[in-house]
Every structure is written in C-alpha cells, then in structure tokens.
Structure 1
Amino acid sequence: MSLQRILRVSLEHPTSAVCVAGVETLVDIYGSVPEGTEMFEVYGTPGVDISTSPGVRDQEHADTGRWCFDAGLQIVVVMNSPSNDLNDSHVQISYHSGQEPLAYAVLYLTCVDITLDCDLNCEDRRDSGFVDKRQWVWRSSGYGAVLLELNCDDQDNCDRHVRCLQDLEDMSVMVLWTQGPVALFDDHTLVLHTSSCDTKWARVFHACGDSCPSCPAGGGLSFPTWGAQALDSGPAQGNQQVNAISIDQVLSNENLISYNKFVQSCVDWNWEVLKRELGLTDGDIIDIPQLFKMERRKAVAFFPDLVNMLVLGKHLGIPKPFGPIINGCCCLGEKVRSLLEPLGLQCTFIDDFTLYHKLHGEVHCGNIVRRQTFSFRWWNMVP
C-alpha cells in the first residue's frame, strides 16, 4: 500500500514534485491563502486528473473546477502516464474574491511509472506487463501476492544463510521497472523496505563484487503466518538488520548501567530546574522508561525514544520501542500505556526504527504539525 503524499504550494514561487503513476497525491491549498479569498479554482494540464476529497456534490462547481473556499476540502491529483520531460505537467490554483483573481499558485509535476516484479518461477522471465498487480488483494482471503520459495535445495540443506552466489541464484530475481524522463534518475536511488517483524520470513539480498549480477533477489527464510506483511518499494527504508538483545545482556552490561545512572542524574537536575522555575511538583512529572548509550560523546536512545512522541490532541504517536515480550506484549509499550491512557490519552506505537531512530531521530523529528494558535499572543505575557 502506497503512502499518500501531501504537496504544499506557494504563492511566492512555483513548486516542483515527482509523482508515481496511478498514486493519489494530496495538494495542500491552505498553506498560503491571500486575504479575502472566497473561492478557488484548480486547473490541470492534459494527463492530470483532479478531484476533491470529500467529493463535491455541487456538479456546477465540479464541472468548472471552481469551489467555495472550505478548510475541509482537499484537492487530489493523479497522473496515470509517465512524463516525457521534467516538469512537463502542472496544476494551477487561483484564489478569487468574487470574480476577481487574487493570486496564483503553480505546481509542476513529473510522473514516473514504477513496477517491482519478481521472477518467482525462476524462468528468467522479466517482462513487466505479464501481471496486473493493481488488482491484487493482500491477506489470507486475498489473491495475487507473490509467494517466495524457501531457499532449501539439496545442496544447502535448508541453510538459512546466503553464503555464495549459488545461494543467491536459488532465489527469485527482482526487477525494478521505471519509465520517465532519463534525467530524473540521476539523483534518485532504489530503496526496498521490509518491516522489521517480517525480516524473519523474507529478505532481499544483493551480490557484491564486479563479477556478480546487479539485480537484487528475494527469498523466503521460513514459512510465514498470515500476519506477514508485503514487501514494497518505497522512498524511505532499507533492509533492516536488527540484532535481538536479551534482558540478561542489558543487565550484565556494566558500562551501559553506569552510563544510564549518569544520564538519570542529568534528568534529575533538569527536573529540579523545571520544578523551581515553573512551580511544578513531582506529581506533575511522568516517568517514561528509556535507556541511553553514548555515541561520539553524546547520549543517544538505546531503543526508540518513547519520550520523543508526536502529540495530536488526545492522540499520541509514540516510537515503537521493540522491548521485551512478556505474555505476548511489549512490556515497555504496556508500561507507557499504563502511565498515559488513564489521563484520557490514546497511544499508537509507530515503527520508525530505520526511518528515524537509526538516524538519531524519532517520530516527532520527522513530522511538522500545523496547530491552531492561541488567541492570546504569548509574547505579551507578563511574568
């Protein structure tokens, strides 16, 4: 499943973006709105399909491409054919007060067609059009998904490790088909993503060395349950290599324990400052479990930093900690739930391990939230 992107346009300069054929893209028309706007009009060049979400029932407005300015209306853009040149299509948004145009915003689009195929029968068949994956339905009642065979021929005797080129050739060669302007691919890189919980079922391997084939290969490692997810091509993550660490290993690591005692002393010092300056008490502070390690003389999160969450009203987007599993549940996640949900907050844990955590960030670092401002201007506050 593709993630739906949001593109923001500007009144000050044109915006350029790349879209994937057949994938819906939301266009944010509210980021730069001239004062006095009553209606807006959207026009797209041939090949650009424009609709609204939710759908507009007013047929007259839908036919003319002009709508009343409503903060709940979203513009959805889809291109179904790849571009011939960079920025060869565009969407123009005009803001109106009555019949008078107030300002214009232009979004230039380059469309690329991307298909990830797999020679699942090892027949050296790599033509991109012999299956239509748009009709596939995932999960146990679905149909069309690729089933990768286990790498367990007689020679390697069910060895789970890829030790030689022959092991790689046992697998299903994967081919990425792209169609679009040649110049677009000069600064774009292929990244394949498998969720961390599915790396025990299937992985993507690539041979190293000048004499090895350049195509990646997909292979099954063990028989999955129907809880296994799909392998997607995407703009973010790579093949995750996560080493499991036991509780005993953590408790026996004297350097880690010593360093976290030092970090806790720093946290305690900050608590005292906050309580003194803001008049807080111990009851105003919630302890969230977290371990740290030292890298380059800095403290970084040992597991995804639970405190570095995204707050959306009563909804919390919290980095998934991948803590020890006790009675079928992550004990760290359950501890956080027990602390925050009694306050009327809803906790949702998000896997950001490769996207942000490994780059020393978390969910909060990778998102910008547009919030409703306070009516009172804080800079006028007198202590």
Structure 2
Amino acid sequence: MRRRAANLVHVFFTMTTKQRVVRVSAEQPSYVVCVLGTEISIDVHGSVPKGATSFDIRGTSGLRVTVIYNPKLTMPLESTTRWPLDSDVEVVVALNGPSSAVNDNKVRVSYYGPTGETLIANALLYITCMAISLDADTSRTGVVESNAINKTKWTWGPNGEGAVLLVNCDRDGPSSGNMDNAYPYVRSHSDLQDLSLLILNTHGPAGVFDNHKLVLHISMFDAARVRVFHAGDSASLSNYEHVLGSDRLSYTVGRTDGKGQHTFYAEGLAFPDADFKGLVSLHTTLLEHSSQNSPATPVFTDTVVFRVAPWIMTPNTQKPLEIFVCSIERGLNTNEKFLEAVKVLAEKANCKLTICPEVENRGDRWIQDEMEFGYVEAPHKSFPVVFDSPRNRGLKEFPFKRILGPDFGYVTREPKNGRVSSLDSFGNLDISPPVTVKGKAYPLGRILIGSSFPGSGSRKMVKIVRDFLYAQRVQPPIELYSDWLTVGHVDEFLSFVPAPDRKGFRLLLASPAACLKLFKEKQKEGYGNAALFEGLGRLGRITLNKLLADKLVHSDSKFVQSCIDWNRSILKRELGLSERDIIDIPQLFTLEGSTATALFPDMVNMIVLGKHLGIPKPFGPIVHGQCCLEENVRSLLEPLGLACTFIDDFFSYHILSGEIHCGTNVCREAFSFHWWNIMP
C-alpha cells in the first residue's frame, strides 16, 4: 500500500492513533504486545544486515501493513514491492482485532542485496494484540460508553464530552459520623449511587500477563481529590476494595483470560476551589517486564478525565421544597406568632416546614445567615448540598448535625484565622435567575455577594468563601456594594420574584426615593397626620408631616439611594436588565454613624415561595383603613400573579436588625438545565 505526499501530510495532521516504535533484527525474532487501536512503527533501518540495500515487508492476515513515503523522493524498485533502504520510508502496522493466542500475528521483513535477487536475511516480529479500554460515562448519558474517544479531554457545552464526578459529601452510612467521603470504604449500598462508575475492559490471551501487568494509577496531585474502589465478585460491602487515593497511587489489576471486565467506582473528595480547577485523571497502563532484573516499561496508557461537579445555588424562581425556621420561646423577642404565620404561608405554598427548636439553635434565629442551599449533579445522580457559612454562632452545629444525611450533602469553608465579619453571613449571598447578557447565556443565573465600595478597603466576604464561589464557574459571581448597611447584606436591598413575562422574573430594589414620593403624595392628599408604627404600643408613632419635615430623613435617603443606584447600575449591566425588569419597593433607612438600617420593616427582605410572598409588615401610615405601603406593594406585585402576605416580624426580627428572609431559609428544586452544557 502506498500513500502519496499529500496524503502523508493529511494523515500526520489528523491522525490521533497512538504509535509504538519497535526495532527488528535479523539475528533473532522480536516479540511485542500491542493494544488494539494503536499502531506499531517498525524500525527497518536500525539493524540492517551487511550488504542489504532494499527490503520488503509482509504480514499475516490479522494485520494491516502500510508503507508511508514521499513519491517525489522515493519510489518502490521497478516491478517489485521492494523499497530502497537509503530512502525516507516508514512502515506502520495496525491490528484488526485482539489475539486469540500469544504471538499469533507475524511480520516478516526481508532484506535483499544490490541485485534485488539475493535474499540476505529475514527479520521476524511476532505480535500479540490486546484490547484494553478504561471507560466511564464520557458522553454524559448516565451509561458507561465502551471505547469512547476523546476521553483525555473534558469539554463544555451540549456537544461536549467528559465524565462527571460527584463529591460524596452526603451521609448514606450510619446517622452519626462524618460525610461518606471521610471514610476510605463504602459505607452502604446507597453510598455507591453517589460514586461514578469506571469500567476496565480487557480482551486477549492470559499469557500476556506472564511478563506484563496492568496497573490502574493516579498522579500524586490528583490523589487527594479522588478515591477509587474495586468491586469484588459479590455484592457484600466488604468486597469493595479501596485501591486508589492519597496513600495509594497505583493498583495492579488481576490477570484475565479472554474477555475480562473490572468494575471500579470513583468518589470525589474535593470541590473545585482556588487551588483546584476541578479536573482529575485516572489512568490504566500496560507495563512490560523484559527481564526479572530490569524495571517495567510502559506499553500503553489509557486515560479518563473527570470534572468534579460544582456546587450550584438555586434562585427564588425555583420551586420551593422545604422551609427552615427557628423557634425562639424565651425572652422578650419570642417568635411564636411569626411561626404561626410562616406555617400558614407554607401550607398555601404546599411546602414542607422544618422548625429548628431553641435547644438546637441556642437562641440564634438568623437561619438564612447560617447556611445556603444548593445541589450537585452528575448524569446518574443529583442531591441537595447545604453550604455552611463561617459565621459560627448559635446555629453553628445545625447544618452538619441536622441537615447532613442520606442524599443531603454538606460543605463549608472557614478562614484559618477564624476572623469573620457580618458580610460572611449568607444573608449576604444571593443568586439571580437565569439571564442572557449581550448574547452570553447564564442558564443557572449568577451569584451575588455584597462587598465594600471600590477603594474603601472596608468589609468584604472572606477570601476562602469568595474563592470557592468563583471556582464553581457555572454561576459567575457579581460583587455588589453592601458595606453601606450596618449589617451589610445584599438581601437588605434586593430580592427576585417570579413573573409570567419578559425574563421570567423581576428584580425588587428597596427605594427611599419611591417611599418619599409615596409619602408626599399622601401628604398632599391630606393625610399628613397619618403615622408610621400605628398600634405598636411601646413604639412612638411618626406622622408623615413630622417625617417629611425631618432634614436628616432626606439626607439619609439621598445617601442610601445613591448606594442602591450604584448597585442598580451593576445589576443592569451584569444581568442584562432594563428598567422594565426592576420594581422599586418603597423603603426608608436611617444612618447610624456611617451605616444604614431600615427605619420600618424592610419589605424586600421577604420569603418567596412560588407565587406566595411572605413580606415584612411595614406598619406604614393608614389611609382609607389600609396601610399605604402595603397597598402600594400589592399594586406593584399582584399584577404579576403574586400573592402578598404581610407578616408581623417587628419585635421578633426587625428591631434586632433583620427580617423574614434573614429568619427563614428555603431548599429549592434543582435546575432542569444540566451544568455541563454551559459554555463558561
């Protein structure tokens, strides 16, 4: 067979087949093991018999022998299949299938003298072909694909390829103890479902393993991030042998005769982070022992690359599944009535309600600040994962002790020095619904975190948490300015609610300007003596006339509005929003020193349960028997099909510098969109 120069160039630039160079000698036969799918490049020049000037080559029927040459420089000798030895000729042998016996394929290289008639010598090469393939679900269908191509690369997008590995961070084993991946053994049969299947297929004669061995191995860099178990012959948990991990970099696979299959399970140990891009590689290598006294040399390596599934947040627009809230029974600021209102709202939204008792929350009611719910997903499995904040107050133990469990994972990040600020609480962590910005799609939304004003050098979320959020890649974070608030959380000035039109949601922003405008309108209508905080008893009422005459109210509002407008510009730019996508919710703040707090219950700090909204009752001025703030908010949100329920949280949350969103938390349904289809 001949290939012309044009084909030669084409072949070398498109061929992905691996090659192994083999030297032949006329003095003694050569023996080689080759893996199906690779080629043997035969060195016909390295050991040429004396007097030889040309050669020809022939192989048995199980082989494909190809001679590659440049016809401008080399031609076969006239009327023969012989080739001059002083030319640039390459011989490549490929195999059609696995061998049925050792050395059942043969190549003969015949060397001839100057006349072309005299056979000087023959060089024999005996070839045994093995089929070896390390396979995983690289097509992301939930099924392991045999002999897949492009296993060594991981690509994003709907046409991408590459296997997915879950961090096994739930607890399917005994109810006490750590996450499953803290243990170097399979804890239960349910635990296996969280691992990624890896199959090593072999086909060929067992005699190959007389002087070869097959090894599964991992690099020292990846070993701390993945663990591998080898499944034994029975279903007993004790038959799942821990073979790879931080203390085991290689494992010799047992020999097989004919078709053999070894089943492995890979377990993720670490999420993507600042020092880990999320990719791990597992390899199988066929090693040859040429003699008992020499080290083994590699013959063939197959590699599968996994990407560790990221932790994914869920926005308000996702279906609510379970509400979490704390019970506070002692002290002046009990929340019994608040709990009753939340129970009613949960029933309307057909949502499960879990109440954390005071013995577990230890007087800490701010359950939103303690944790954030998300999930992990692979083609074969998905489960929710709670992200525990580093704030470490009364609820410190709740996520680990009460939420971690079967098919419910746990992750946390804490600074080594233990220093945290209010901005490290997860009321300062939010997520937008899916958006498209200038043609760039963010089908899982974008994370929002509050930070300090550029150049101010004030409070920021700790680096270890920020690094973790950025490293997940699928929900690129946006940093907002929240340090102007006393508490400093983004949920104090923004929220998202579902909508039936446009982008499928509206962004709600707290607005002092909208509030002052509303109050001035009511004053002009003759309701200047209507007052805030009417009926709260121990709290003094403030009339609209008095409020609007207060210069500090106007100056504070101007400052706060400028801070919110700065964030408004960022959100419009980074989320691709227009003014029609934003609703201004009337809200006043007052400065205490250099930072702001809500004057009356902060209505954007709400709980969103589908179309049902639990909104802090603002206790605004009563006009025509109705709170004008509530009426205004209803007029803005009810046309979107939303049901507004105003809940009294004044003494149980508001005067303690928080509201409904701060005091509740919601686990939501995962996205139907698969994160690996993103183009980051």
TM-score (structure 1 length as normaliser):
0.51
Change (3 A) 1:63 1:108: farther
The one-character-per-residue Cα deviations of 1:36-79 (angstroms, maximum 9, x if unpaired) are: 22211111111211224566666756996532213743322211
Matched, 1:184 2:208: yes
Instruction: State the distance in 1 between where 2:224 and 2:81 align.
Output: 50
Report if the CA contact (8 A) 1:6-1:26 is conserved.
yes
Residue 212 of structure 1: how far off its partner (Å): 0.9
The one-character-per-residue Cα deviations of 1:55-109 (angstroms, maximum 9, x if unpaired) are: 6666756996532213743322211301112111111101112312211100011
Q: 2:125 aligns with which of 107, 116, 125?
A: 107
For 1:231, the equivalent position in structure 2 comes to: 282
For 2:112, the equivalent position in structure 1 comes to: 96
The one-character-per-residue Cα deviations of 1:136-191 (angstroms, maximum 9, x if unpaired) are: 57244683222222222244765643333227734224322111124334554320
Instruction: State the distance in 1 between where 2:182 and 2:78 align.
Output: 57
Q: 2:98 aligns with which of 82, 92, 99?
A: 82
| Aligned alpha-carbon RMSD (Å) | 4.0
The one-character-per-residue Cα deviations of 1:107-138 (angstroms, maximum 9, x if unpaired) are: 01111111222378999967xxx444135572
Change (3 A) 1:25 1:121: closer
For 1:14, the equivalent position in structure 2 comes to: 29
Larger-gyration structure (1/2): 2
Instruction: State the distance in 2 between where 1:190 and 1:9 align.
Output: 25
Residue 12 of structure 1: how far off its partner (Å): 1.4
Residue 34 of structure 1: how far off its partner (Å): 1.2
Change (3 A) 1:68 1:205: same
For 2:252, the equivalent position in structure 1 comes to: none
Matched, 1:146 2:163: yes
- The alignment-based identity, stated in percent, is 34
SS of the counterpart of 1:183? helix
Matched, 1:220 2:237: no
Report if the CA contact (8 A) 1:136-1:143 is conserved.
no
The one-character-per-residue Cα deviations of 1:191-214 (angstroms, maximum 9, x if unpaired) are: 013233333443434479994146
Report if the CA contact (8 A) 2:138-2:161 is conserved.
no
Look up the equivalent residue of 1:46 and give its one-letter code.
S
Change (3 A) 1:64 1:154: farther
Change (3 A) 1:143 1:122: closer
SS of the counterpart of 2:187? helix
The one-character-per-residue Cα deviations of 1:317-357 (angstroms, maximum 9, x if unpaired) are: xxxxxxxxxxxxxxxxxxxxxxxxxxxxxxxxxxxxxxxxx
Report if the CA contact (8 A) 1:8-1:27 is conserved.
yes
Q: How does 1:23-34 map to 2 (within 5 A)?
A: 23-34=38-49
The one-character-per-residue Cα deviations of 1:202-248 (angstroms, maximum 9, x if unpaired) are: 3434479994146432222234566846423213589xxxxxxxxxx
Q: Which moved more, 1:116-125 or 1:13-22?
A: 116-125
Look up the equivalent residue of 2:228 and give its one-letter code.
V
For 1:294, the equivalent position in structure 2 comes to: none
The one-character-per-residue Cα deviations of 1:230-274 (angstroms, maximum 9, x if unpaired) are: 423213589xxxxxxxxxxxxxxxxxxxxxxxxxxxxxxxxxxxx
Instruction: State the distance in 1 between where 2:237 and 2:186 align.
Output: 12
Instruction: State the distance in 2 between where 1:63 and 1:138 align.
Output: 47
Look up the equivalent residue of 1:196 and give its one-letter code.
M
For 1:246, the equivalent position in structure 2 comes to: none
Q: How does 1:1-383 map to 2 (within 5 A)?
A: 4-52=19-67, 65-70=81-86, 72-97=88-113, 98-99=115-116, 100-118=118-136, 130-134=145-149, 138-140=153-155, 143-155=160-172, 158=179, 160-166=181-187, 169=192, 170-185=194-209, 188-206=212-230, 211-213=238-240, 215-223=263-271, 228=279, 230-236=281-287
SS of the counterpart of 2:214? coil
TM-score (structure 2 length as normaliser):
0.30
Report if the CA contact (8 A) 2:140-2:163 is conserved.
no
Residue 14 of structure 1: how far off its partner (Å): 1.1
Instruction: Give 5+ residue unaligned stretches, structure 1.
Output: 239-383
More strand by share: 2
Instruction: State the distance in 2 between where 1:56 and 1:158 align.
Output: 65
SS of the counterpart of 1:235? strand
Report if the CA contact (8 A) 1:45-1:90 is conserved.
yes
Look up the equivalent residue of 1:118 and give its one-letter code.
A
Instruction: Give 5+ residue unaligned stretches, structure 2.
Output: 1-15, 242-262, 288-297, 302-680
Instruction: State the distance in 2 between where 1:68 and 1:81 align.
Output: 31
Instruction: State the distance in 1 between where 2:219 and 2:266 align.
Output: 14
Aligned length: 235
Report if the CA contact (8 A) 1:51-1:77 is conserved.
yes
Report if the CA contact (8 A) 1:115-1:178 is conserved.
yes
Look up the equivalent residue of 1:5 and give its one-letter code.
R
Change (3 A) 1:207 1:140: closer
Report if the CA contact (8 A) 2:138-2:162 is conserved.
no
SS of the counterpart of 1:231? strand
